[in-house]
Amino acid sequence: MQVADTITAEEATAAQSDPLAFQNRSGRGDSAGYFVDLVLNTLEERYGAQVVYHGGLKVTTTIDLQLQQIAEESLQKGLYDLDAVMGISPATPGEGDAGERPQGALVAVQVNSGAIKALVGGRSYAETEYNRAIANSRLPGSGFKPFLYYTAFDLLGLTPASVVIDQPVNIPVAGAPDWKPKNFDRDYIGPVILKRAFTHSINTVAAQLVAQVGPDAVIDTARRCGIQSSLSPVYSVALGTSGASPLEMASAYATFASGGMHYTPFAIWRVEDALGQVLEEHIVSGLQVLKTPLAYQVVDMMQGVIADGTGRVVRKMGFRKPAAGKTGTTNGYLDAWFTGFTSTLSASVWVGYDRGVGLKDAYRGGITGGRGAAPIWTRFMLRATEGDPPRPFIQPSGIQFDTRHAATGRTTYPGDPDAVRVALQRDAGGKGAHSTRGEP
């Protein structure tokens, strides 16, 4: 600075004599540290460590730094709120054993490209660099049901207005004990249409559907949507008993948001070498993997989850833009999820302990996805979409809405307290296709 004539010789001497003052490491850790790790690991796999760290590469990534900061702040604030609910003593960021507190992850991807816009893999990168956003060891629970319901619509010809009996089920399994899944509240309501069963996450109805379509068909749907993790071909896979990552869940749900078009998630737009030559450039291209009308019917049911189902906290917290999603809670409250989307942004939130400890509040009550993860998702989306106009999901041609009774599936009047608005396909004659179909 002295040579450049921006300071005097006296100022340079004074600056050199000042002792260095180091700032304590922040508990928030390096901004976007988890995302940077993902990018570096990807580059090392493609080019090798020598080229990555010493080759002068210029890398353009997909991250939106504003969304990344919102994601980090939303997750950290949500986890500290969760500490209070669980009766865990407050701690300042960076202090205390991170393993003694629940952890979390948040991933947001652009619906119509697959670009990863924000990725947070834990409370603090400074405390732990383990990236929970891409780890596939956590069970999604009922967050897996959209793949099941789509499969049932596609293979069985069912609709959101089809009626199934919510009752105790006993499904024989070759070479193993019978499968007897229970509802979360241990209660049964009898006849119920599929949309109501989905929005209230009724397990026995899901069990009856997977018994008919088979686990392999559900896995095939999940694979087409982008779930790459190992999935066990057992009936319970439909209830989310195989692991998946928040990145996979955000990407797979984006497939529904885009009308059945899947875009592989990516973190790097472009890589150039030291001479400016392009080594790689991502060209956005999607693949139609789901039938658009059926995907829309699932999206409408996921909107019902937010409107009056297990994810209604989203509306209670003030998020008013068109959105859809699904909660997930695993046995023993080991995992709490909420994955949801607008027409442009899909985000998945997971919270839980790294080790096998359930999420319990100060009164020993279990913490569900709607209670533990959905508030974090909502806090993120409120700020992430601030200033954006409301964008409804595009209704495909051939889809009509009707009002049906929640138990009988018959047409009823909108003021009926048991009325449910359902999206149905029209047949060639203009009538609702399969709209009066009974229980499967």
The residues pairing with 165 across neighbouring beta strands, listed in sequence order, are 191
Other C-beta atoms lying within 10 Å of the C-beta of residue 311: 29
pLDDT band, residue 99 (cuts 50/70/90): low
246-257 vs 145-156: helix axis angle to the nearest 10? 40
Domains 28-135+244-289+310-391 and 141-242+397-440 share a fold: yes
Domain boundaries along the sequence of the chain? 28-135+244-289+310-391, 141-242+397-440
Percent of the chain whose predicted confidence (pLDDT) is above 90: 84
Phi and psi dihedrals of 111, rounded to 5?
Answer: -60, -45
Beta carbons of 297 and 146 less than 8 angstroms apart: no
**What does the pLDDT average to over 82-88?**
94
Beta carbons of 404 and 436 less than 8 angstroms apart: no
Q: Cα–Cα distance between 438 and 440 in angstroms, integer?
A: 6
**What does the pLDDT average to over 136-153?**
97
Of the listed ranges 81-95, 124-138, 168-182, 250-264, the least confidently predicted one is: 81-95
pLDDT of residue 182 exceeding 50: yes
Predicted confidence at residue 9, as pLDDT, reads 84
Beta carbons of 301 and 160 less than 8 angstroms apart: yes
Q: Cα–Cα distance between 309 and 307 in angstroms, integer?
A: 6
Written as six digits, the tokens of 18 are 């000042």
Q: Cα–Cα distance between 368 and 309 in angstroms, integer?
A: 13
DSSP state of 193: E
Q: Cα–Cα distance between 63 and 433 in angstroms, integer?
A: 43
Query: What does the buried/exposed string (b/e) look like for 141-173 if buried means 16 or more CB atoms within 10 Å of the residue's CB?
Result: bbbbbbbbbbbbbbebebbbbbbbebeebeeee
pLDDT band, residue 30 (cuts 50/70/90): low
Superfamily in which the 141-242+397-440 domain is placed by CATH: DD-peptidase/beta-lactamase superfamily (3.40.710.10)
Q: Which helix (H) or strand (E) holds 425?
A: strand 419-425
Beta carbons of 277 and 300 less than 8 angstroms apart: no
Beta carbons of 193 and 406 less than 8 angstroms apart: yes
pLDDT of residue 38 exceeding 90: yes
**What does the pLDDT average to over 82-106?**
77
pLDDT of residue 308 exceeding 80: yes
Other C-beta atoms lying within 10 Å of the C-beta of residue 429: 6
Q: What is the mean pLDDT of the chain?
A: 92
Of the listed ranges 17-21, 145-149, 416-420, the least confidently predicted one is: 17-21
pTM beyond 0.85: yes
CATH number for the 28-135+244-289+310-391 domain, one of 3.40.50.300, 3.40.710.10, 1.10.3720.10, 3.30.160.250?
Answer: 3.40.710.10
pLDDT digits 0-9 by tens, 217-228: 999 999 999 999
Q: What angle do CA 218, 310, 212 make, to 5 degrees?
A: 25
Q: What is the largest CA-CA distance in the chain?
A: 90
Could you tell me which of 168, 158, 64, 143 has the C-alpha nearest to residue 108? 64
Q: Which residues contact 344 (CB under 8 A, 6 or more apart)?
A: 110, 111, 112, 388, 391
Q: Which helix (H) or strand (E) holds 334?
A: none
Predicted confidence at residue 381, as pLDDT, reads 98
pLDDT of residue 5 exceeding 80: no
Q: What angle do CA 172, 177, 183 make, to 5 degrees?
A: 75
Question: In terms of DSSP H, where are the helices of 351-397?
Answer: 369-372, 374-384
Q: Cα–Cα distance between 111 and 134 in angstroms, integer?
A: 18
DSSP state of 331: G
**What does the pLDDT average to over 303-313?**
97
